[in-house]
Structure 1
């Protein structure tokens, strides 16, 4: 019997390099990385001062706060919940931080007080959302207003200055490694690598993805859905506290308007970074790229002297496009 043409001339398997490239482009981070490079390239051509060591370092330092808090918010989103309280928490934790440092002249005690408040807020959000079953958007929105109102009441809408003037505290938000890389950026990158490893290679990370993807299946697999979600809110509260400490160090005081609108910046970066609003999908590296895209975009538009209101319009358009793309992907799955 004569052989078929296909049998006589079998189709060769794809080359390893081509297969690797195809698999690489399936990753959601690659389009984000390309978008970031396009943004940087565009503003480098449009402005002579954009692609300078000083400006890049400044952008990395400024984006560190959103990246740090964004790690926690992304983890909460992946678990299938929402946390929009981080902006007010950033302002609130600065109060015990500065007050305790002023009274004791101890950076350790000040940071401990700030972390204690962040832990309590994260625990309250987690308990109400995970264990009592109240919608997490409503819970964290309420927390946002309670914390902001509490900050206004305590401060009398007047900044509380850092009277201890500890050099170690100043360096947290203003120091630079080798005079180049801002310490906040270094802290954010270390936290990003640590939590990315946990989310991809440790049991807790796999549980978060499972719970966010399908809580009932996760429960049948033996995972404690409530406990996992509770832990995610704790992580978000603590990481927002770290961002608040860095911001207080940079400002040198506890300011009542600190972090105003910060939650929208973080959520925008998380969604732009490919973290699904429906849970179970997304990566922390994608979130980090989303933060960098928005940070470089804002910096570049500012250098081109684009009015602030137009910058907000552009950012809002990007958020809507990212959410629409997320919904499109979810419906195709």
Structure 2
């Protein structure tokens, strides 16, 4: 198992390095400038918050397509509350509460009504997007609170972004949880075989509820790094977390993946986004290219899953 994981990580690292080299040459070295590398690292926070939740759910055998919309709703509500005069901490807690409600509702649909998670989360995405537009009236809301702005764009010692530090700490904490705790092992067991895990004494529904709520809360924490809460954020980042997790080797079939690979997937996606901007690619083509990247990631996941099933046979 360790050898297999090491091989997968090596492949992911090679993909990341290859991407950097190719786009570095195409951009004439602009991709590798100090300021641009800093921009890439600063942009990891939003994708990280979405990718961690997506990865954990996928490892457990579920999927959440609503995280972009839920995160946007949380950001809009937090910005609206602060604009109305509420201090930043209560406003952020209200955003987190919205995440809890959205995650719990989705989990209830999946576990009690047996609705497939991709259908339930598509419905939740539509609901969250509608409420978000209602809150802001279709326009963006400026975030002027100094604490939120510092968390989103401030730097430790004027060099290391606070947002990047938070992302790395979260990835480390969740990585340790996955590999070193009983709950982490239960996530893999539920994803590998839900019925077998139930027969072993685990409660798959409890695991599912915890992960859906966790993913929604992480998505709403996106509000903690935004200068402007924009209803278009749903469209811009709807599938970023999912794409990063799949690029990082998390299987849609469940039971495999980890935070190390997810981190590399985040970097691959962020480098791709940044590189297409640096080389002057039209925004429409950028959207198309990102969709193609997701298709490639899904195809690779399909090939790996098929190979693993053939080995078992």
- Normalised to the residue count of structure 2, the TM-score between the two structures is 0.92
- Residues 129 and 234 of structure 2 are in contact (CA less than 8 Å); yes or no, is this contact kept in structure 1? no
- Residues 76 and 231 of structure 2 are in contact (CA less than 8 Å); yes or no, is this contact kept in structure 1? no
- Residues 173 and 246 of structure 1 are in contact (CA less than 8 Å); yes or no, is this contact kept in structure 2? yes
- The number of equivalent residue pairs is 306
What is the match of residue 145 of structure 2? Answer: 166
The structure that has the greater radius of gyration is 1
Does the alignment pair 1:32 with 2:7?
no
> Partners of 2:10 and 2:101 in 1: how far apart?
37
- Residues 93 and 245 of structure 1 are in contact (CA less than 8 Å); yes or no, is this contact kept in structure 2? no
Deviations 1:43-68 (A, max 9, x none): 33332322122111111111221112
Q: How does 1:275-290 map to 2 (within 5 A)?
A: 275-290=250-265
Range that drifts further, 213-222 or 105-114:
105-114
- SS of residue matched to 2:205: helix
- Residues 96 and 114 of structure 1 are in contact (CA less than 8 Å); yes or no, is this contact kept in structure 2? yes
Question: What displacement does 1:186 show?
Answer: 1.4
> Partners of 2:184 and 2:155 in 1: how far apart?
32
- SS of residue matched to 1:120: helix
Does the alignment pair 1:187 with 2:162?
no
> Partners of 1:49 and 1:245 in 2: how far apart?
30
Root-mean-square deviation over aligned CA pairs? 1.8
What is the match of residue 106 of structure 1? Answer: 87
Range that drifts further, 27-36 or 40-49:
40-49
* 1:122 to 1:25, Cα distance in 2 relative to 1, 3 A: closer
* 1:141 to 1:261, Cα distance in 2 relative to 1, 3 A: farther
Question: What displacement does 1:26 show?
Answer: 4.3
Q: How does 1:259-274 map to 2 (within 5 A)?
A: 259-274=234-249
> Partners of 1:91 and 1:135 in 2: how far apart?
23
Q: Which runs of 5+ in 1 are unaligned?
A: 1-21
Pick one of 36, 58, 67 that aligns with 1:77.
58
> Partners of 2:230 and 2:292 in 1: how far apart?
30
> Partners of 2:276 and 2:181 in 1: how far apart?
40
Question: What displacement does 1:257 show?
Answer: 1.8
Q: Which runs of 5+ in 2 are unaligned?
A: 309-313
What is the match of residue 203 of structure 1? Answer: 182
Runs of 4+ in 1 over 4 A off after TM superposition: none
- SS of residue matched to 2:32: coil
What is the match of residue 140 of structure 1? Answer: 121
Deviations 1:106-164 (A, max 9, x none): 121111111111111111111211233211111110010111111112322122333xx
Deviations 1:94-116 (A, max 9, x none): 23312332344412111111111
- Residues 51 and 240 of structure 2 are in contact (CA less than 8 Å); yes or no, is this contact kept in structure 1? no
> Partners of 1:174 and 1:301 in 2: how far apart?
23
> Partners of 1:135 and 1:306 in 2: how far apart?
37
* 1:94 to 1:317, Cα distance in 2 relative to 1, 3 A: closer
